[in-house]
Amino acid sequence: MSSLFANPTSDPAIPPLGQVMVLSADQPMRLDSGATLGPFTLAYQTYGTLNEAKSNAILVCHALTGDQYAAGPHPMTGRPGWWSTLIGPGKPVDTERYFVICPNVIGGCMGSSGPREINPATGQVWGLNFPVITIADMVRSQALLLDALGIDRLFAVLGGSMGGMQALEWATAYPERVFAAIPIATAARHSSQNIAFHEVGRQAIMADPDWAAGAYHAAGRNPSRGLAVARMAAHVTYLSETALHRKFGRNLQDRIAVTYGFDADFQVESYLRHQGSTFVDRFDANSYLYITRAMDYFDLAVEYGGQLANAFASSPVRFLLVSFTSDWLFPTPESRAIVKALTTGSASVSFVEIETDKGHDAFLLDEPELFRIVQGFLDGCAEQYGLAQRSSAQHAESKGPKPRRGIRADLKLIADMIRPGSRALDVGSGDGELLEHLVHDKGVDGRGLELDPDGVHLSLAHGMAVIQGDANTDLQAYADGAFDYVILSKTLQAMHDPRAVLEHLCRIGHHAIVSFENYGHWRTRLSLMLRGRSPIDRDRPNHWWESSNIHPCTIADFLDLTEALDIEIEETVVLGPAGRVAKSTRPTTSANLFGEQAVFLLRRRR
> Which residue numbers are catalytic?
161, 327, 360
What is the separation of C-alpha 119 from the centre of its chain, rounded to a whole number of angstroms? 37
**Looking at 49, 452, 544, 584, which residue binds a second copy (CB under 8 A)?**
544
> How far apart are the C-alpha atoms of 312 and 342, rounded to whole Å?
6
Candidates 17, 76, 528, 581: give the one binding a second copy (CB under 8 A): 528
Contact of 86 with 92, CB cutoff 8 Å: yes
Closest to a second copy by CB, 91 or 247: 247
Site for a second copy in 43-82 (CB under 8 A): none
CB atoms inside a 10 Å sphere around CB 305: 9
- Where does this chain touch a second copy (CB under 8 A) — which range of 7-15, 114-122, 180-188, 520-528? 520-528
Tell me which residues in 296-315 interact with a second copy (CB under 8 A): 296-297, 299
> Which of 78-86, 166-174, 185-193, 455-463 is the region at the interface with a second copy (rule: CB under 8 A)?
185-193
If the CB atoms of residues 52 and 545 are measured against a second copy, the closer one turns out to be: 545
Nearer to a second copy, 201 or 380 (CB): 201
CA 240 to chain CA mean position, Å: 19
Cβ proximity to a second copy: between 276 and 448 the closer is 276
Residues from 367 through 426 that contact a second copy (CB under 8 A):
none
State which residue, 407 or 565, has the beta carbon closest to a second copy.
565
Q: How far is the CB of 126 from a second copy (least distance, A)?
A: 14
How far apart are the C-alpha atoms of 5 and 3, rounded to whole Å?
A: 6
Q: Would you give the DSSP letter of residue 401?
A: P
Q: How many alpha carbons lie under 13 Å from residue 403 in its C-beta half-sphere?
A: 4
| Residue 127 DSSP code | G
Among 26, 52, 546, 579, binds a second copy (CB under 8 A): 546
In angstroms, rounded to a whole number, what is the distance separating the alpha carbons of residues 595 and 593?
6
**Cross-strand pairs, 324:** 354
Q: Which stretch binds a second copy (CB under 8 A): 40-48, 78-86, 124-132, 404-412?
A: 124-132
Confirm or reject binding of residue 32 to a second copy (CB under 8 A): yes
Interatomic CA distance for residues 551 and 567, integer angstroms = 20
Specify the 3-state DSSP secondary structure of 271. helix
Q: Which is nearer to a second copy, 62 or 190 (CB)?
A: 190
Name which position in 62, 293, 336, 447 contacts a second copy (CB under 8 A): 293
Q: How far is the CB of 421 from a second copy (least distance, A)?
A: 34
- Output the smallest distance, CB 521 to a second copy, in A: 9
Ramachandran bin of 185, using left for φ above 0, alpha for ψ from -120 to 50, beta for the remaining angles: left
**533 binding a second copy? (CB under 8 A):** yes
Write the single-letter amino acid at 437: H
Separation CA 547–CA 550 (nearest Å): 7
Please, are residues 47 and 10 in contact by the beta-carbon 8 Å criterion? no
Asked if 400 and 379 count as a contact pair (C-beta separation under 8 A), the reply is yes
Q: Is 534 in the site for a second copy (CB under 8 A)?
A: yes
Respond yes or no on whether the N-terminal peptide bond of residue 39 is cis (omega within 30° of 0): yes
Contacts (CB under 8 A) with a second copy, residues 207-236: 207-209, 225-226, 228-229, 232-233, 236
Among 49, 389, 391, 589, binds a second copy (CB under 8 A): 589
Regarding 325 and contact with a second copy (CB under 8 A), the answer is no
Which CB, 258 or 388, lies closer to a second copy?
258
> Should residue 248 be labelled a site residue for a second copy when binding is judged by CB under 8 A?
yes
E strands present in 286-363? 318-324, 348-354
Residues near 450 by Cβ (< 8 Å), separated by ≥ 6?
Answer: 428, 429, 430, 432, 456, 459, 466, 467, 468, 469
Q: What share of the chain is helix, strand, coil (3-state, %, to 5)?
A: 40, 20, 40
Nearer to a second copy, 348 or 562 (CB): 562
Task: Report the amino acid identity of residue 431.
Answer: D
Site for a second copy in 253-272 (CB under 8 A): 258, 260-262, 264-266, 268-269, 272
- What is the spatial distance between Cα 432 and Cα 411, in angstroms, rounded to a whole number? 11
R_g of the chain, CA atoms, integer Å? 28
Smallest Cα–Cα separation from 349: which of 402, 311, 390, 387?
A: 311
At closest approach, how far in Å is the CB of 281 from a second copy?
17
Least gap, CB of 208 to a second copy (angstroms): 7
Q: Closest separation between CB of residue 134 and a second copy, Å?
A: 8
In whole angstroms, the minimum distance from the beta carbon of 252 to a second copy comes to 11
Give burial (CB, 10 Å; 0-12/13-18/19+) of 17.
exposed
Give the pairing type, strands 423-427 and 348-354.
unpaired
Q: Using CA atoms, how far apart are residues 114 and 107, in angstroms rounded to an integer?
A: 4
Counting contacts by CB under 8 A, is residue 554 touching a second copy? yes
Q: Does 199 engage in binding with a second copy (CB under 8 A)?
A: yes
Q: Counting contacts by CB under 8 A, is residue 115 touching a second copy? A: no
- 373 vs 494 by CB, closer to a second copy: 494
DSSP reduced 3-state for 54: coil
Identified binder of a second copy from the candidate list 273, 442, 507, 603, rule CB under 8 A: 273
Minimum CB distance to a second copy, residue 202 (Å):
6
* DSSP of 505-517: HHHHEEEEEEEEE
Instruction: Count residues near a second copy (CB under 8 A).
Output: 91
Can residue 537 be called a binding residue for a second copy (CB under 8 A)? Answer: no
Segment 142 to 171, residues that bind a second copy, using CB under 8 A: none
355 binds a second copy (CB under 8 A): no
If one asks whether residue 327 binds a second copy (CB under 8 A), the answer comes out as no
